[in-house]
Structure 1
Amino acid sequence: MTAHQLPAAVVVVVPARNEEESLPDCLAALELAGRALAAAYPTVDLMVTVVLDGCTDSSESVMREHPFARSLEVDFASVGPARRAGIADALARVERPAGQVWVANTDADTVVPRHWLAEQCRLAAQGVQLVLGTVVPDPSGLGIERDRAWHAAHPLEHGHDYIHGANLGFRADGYQRAGGFAALDVHEDVDLVNRLKALGVTWSAVDTIRATTSARTMGRTPGGFAGYLRELPP
């Protein structure tokens, strides 16, 4: 894919570990985003893969209720390897050159906006190879004081310096050149983005595709977003 050319295909990869409660909302939002993509860019193919990573709950049953998405079962109990496996599987199945494929990443406890995929494709067509989106915690689960503290510390604007695996997109050829997601339990997103930037890819940090994520303070990993929220003043 060259500058000013739409991706031929978009693959969405969502790692999930025991997310039966949040997965339905995540998938419903992705289905709406897929419809908006088809309306805006009908020539772009879409594949959604949910990586069920060592799930012992009913996440697999949730997947059967959303046939537009496919599942991949792994047992890493680690987000870096799960994202890596999901992308590798999707790229093998989409049967397009990596330079023509856009990879959109989110999390199973996250709800993306309806225009999430269409906007990333619009940016890709302008020559952007890496898109960094914003994420806000669900205020209904955060509490008034923690919500205020979070927003006070996180101004949301174009050109921000945040990196969230729950709202991250990039061209597949750059991803492959950078070596893919590393086998990290946390901050795998920051690690990858730093390597992509080191390659000199064209990137944009935007607040136009703001996603909402769970405000839980006990996450699936020792650190990460949940741990950060836990440290905010109550």
Structure 2
Amino acid sequence: MQVDTEETDCSYATLFDHTPPSSHLQVSVIVPVRNEAHHLTDTLEALRRQLDTNGLPLNPALYEVLLLANNCTDSSYEVAFQYQHQHPSFSLHIAQIHLPANKANIGTVRRMLMDEAYQRLMSAGRTDGIIASTDGDTVVDKHWVYNIMLEIAKGNDAVGGRILTRPDQSEVRLYHLRDVMYRTLVAKAEALLDPCSHDPWPRHFQHFGASLAVTCQTYDRVGRLPKTPYLEDEAFYQALLRMDAKVRKSPHVKVFTSSRIQGRVDVGFSEQLRYWSAMNQSNQCQLAMPAEAVIIRLQNRYLLRNYWQLLDRSSHIDTLQRIAKELLIDSNWLINELEQSRFFGELWEKVDKKMTTGTWGTHWQPVPITSAIRAMRNYLADKSATFF
């Protein structure tokens, strides 16, 4: 289906309403596409050939794929259309739109798709339905859909999948691998110092649009996808944390994506790769927050979380004062924000921002990432031997 939104307000109801959802539908997968003709067949093949953990084909009635080609100047829509006709039993629904310049961004398109998936699941009576997001240059793992369903069935509200890049000889791959190692070590430190029962180790650090899933109830509860032109996945993740949603960063939910520098969005992974490329060319040192700062932050987040859960906080005010001192923030400000916050996630967001813009941000200066990795590894080797 083709829709021209140049003169409209991007009405979501016109995208896929000519194809009603299956009565057995549990997962609606959304795929925003812009000039992905070279990748798209692989993306769709992976989604069509989904298996359960026994290696049997997943019941095709359980999930559908909503593909929206937007502002394409290549044959992306034609590739999707041809694939749809080659595999009529595959629940693939496609549409093509042309957005005006002020709306032609990934934030608008992913929000349109996620809203459409939400409406389709709700119309099928699936208040417990799952909206799953990936991208047109991404190949999902063969158990991707099934493992998302398993993680949600455990009581989680959302699932961030592991996003793996295909090996290449790019000059920035070393920068990327260092970044992944550092963030993985931080995730392990989180599991040690501020553990969450719904997101135990092993886990990872990613929560991005190439592999992100959320229940319909949670999607509605957090106000749906924020209206932002880019980094919409990060903004959505922050909205989830703000309301204490249970987000599982599952190592079993995996996708494989490209590591191209010339991306389809102005801000995102491709921009990070371009930044690392510029650093490489100018021989700049890759930096990260020192391990000691990460550890202090996580230890005090754990203490503050426990304080938040106390029924009688007045008798433990000294604990709050110690936390404020460690995080280099004013204790009176912290007490006031604690009283006003409805969720712990809402409180911690305020604390994190206060730290970043205050004394903490000037006290803890970034260090070479190789030094941070070495220090974090040493700390975890000492502390986690009897923990994990």
TM-score, normalised on structure 2? 0.54
- Residue 204 of structure 2 aligns with which residue? 160
Q: Deviations 1:147-175 (Å, cap 9, x if unpaired)?
A: 23312220357333322110111101111
> Which letter does structure 1 place at the counterpart of 2:110?
R
Residues 63 and 70, structure 1, Cα contact 8 Å, conserved in 2? no
- Residue 4 of structure 2 aligns with which residue? none
Q: How far apart, in 2, do the equivalents of 1:40 and 1:29 lie?
A: 12
CA positional deviation for 1:144: 5.5
Q: 1:72 aligns with which of 95, 102, 123?
A: 95
More displaced stretch, 184-193 vs 81-90 = 81-90
Q: 1:57 aligns with which of 74, 88, 95?
A: 74
Q: How far apart, in 2, do the equivalents of 1:113 and 1:41 lie?
A: 13
Percent of aligned positions that are identical: 27
CA positional deviation for 1:89: 2.2
Residues 159 and 207, structure 2, Cα contact 8 Å, conserved in 1? no
Q: How far apart, in 1, do the equivalents of 2:262 and 2:227 lie?
A: 22
> Which letter does structure 1 place at the counterpart of 2:96?
E
Q: How far apart, in 2, do the equivalents of 1:138 and 1:147 lie?
A: 10
CA positional deviation for 1:28: 1.0
> Which letter does structure 2 place at the counterpart of 1:92?
Q
Q: Deviations 1:123-153 (Å, cap 9, x if unpaired)?
A: 111111111112122213xx25532331222
Q: How far apart, in 1, do the equivalents of 2:236 and 2:151 lie?
A: 20
Q: Deviations 1:175-207 (Å, cap 9, x if unpaired)?
A: 112122223222100101111122222221122
SS in 1 for 2:248: strand
* Higher RCO by CA contacts (8 Å cutoff, separation 6 or greater): 1
Q: Does residue 133 of structure 1 match 2:161?
A: yes
Q: 1:9 aligns with which of 20, 23, 26?
A: 26
Q: Deviations 1:207-232 (Å, cap 9, x if unpaired)?
A: 22221111110111222010111222
SS in 2 for 1:230: helix
SS in 2 for 1:154: helix
> Which letter does structure 2 place at the counterpart of 1:87?
M
Q: Does residue 201 of structure 1 match 2:228?
A: no
Residues 231 and 268, structure 2, Cα contact 8 Å, conserved in 1? yes
> Which letter does structure 2 place at the counterpart of 1:227?
E
Q: CA RMSD in A?
A: 2.4
Q: How does 1:14-29 map to 2 (within 5 A)?
A: 14-29=31-46
Structure (1 or 2) with the greater helix fraction: 2
Question: Structure 2 vs 1, CA of residues 61 and 92 (structure 1 numbering), >3 Å: closer, same or farther?
Answer: same
Q: Which runs of 5+ in 2 are unaligned?
A: 1-23, 85-89, 188-201, 282-388
Q: How far apart, in 2, do the equivalents of 1:40 and 1:173 lie?
A: 28
Q: 1:118 aligns with which of 125, 146, 149?
A: 146
Q: How far apart, in 2, do the equivalents of 1:19 and 1:97 lie?
A: 33
Q: 1:88 aligns with which of 115, 133, 137?
A: 115
SS in 2 for 1:12: strand
Q: Which runs of 5+ in 1 are unaligned?
A: 1-6
Q: How far apart, in 2, do the equivalents of 1:43 and 1:185 lie?
A: 33
SS in 1 for 2:37: coil
More displaced stretch, 79-88 vs 96-105 = 96-105
> Which letter does structure 2 place at the counterpart of 1:109?
D
CA positional deviation for 1:92: 2.9
- Residue 4 of structure 1 aligns with which residue? none
Q: Does residue 108 of structure 1 match 2:131?
A: no
Question: Structure 2 vs 1, CA of residues 195 and 62 (structure 1 numbering), >3 Å: closer, same or farther?
Answer: same
SS in 1 for 2:119: helix
Q: 2:174 aligns with which of 148, 164, 181?
A: 148
Residues 49 and 142, structure 2, Cα contact 8 Å, conserved in 1? yes
Q: 2:266 aligns with which of 200, 203, 222?
A: 222
Give 1 or 2 for the bigger CA radius of gyration: 2
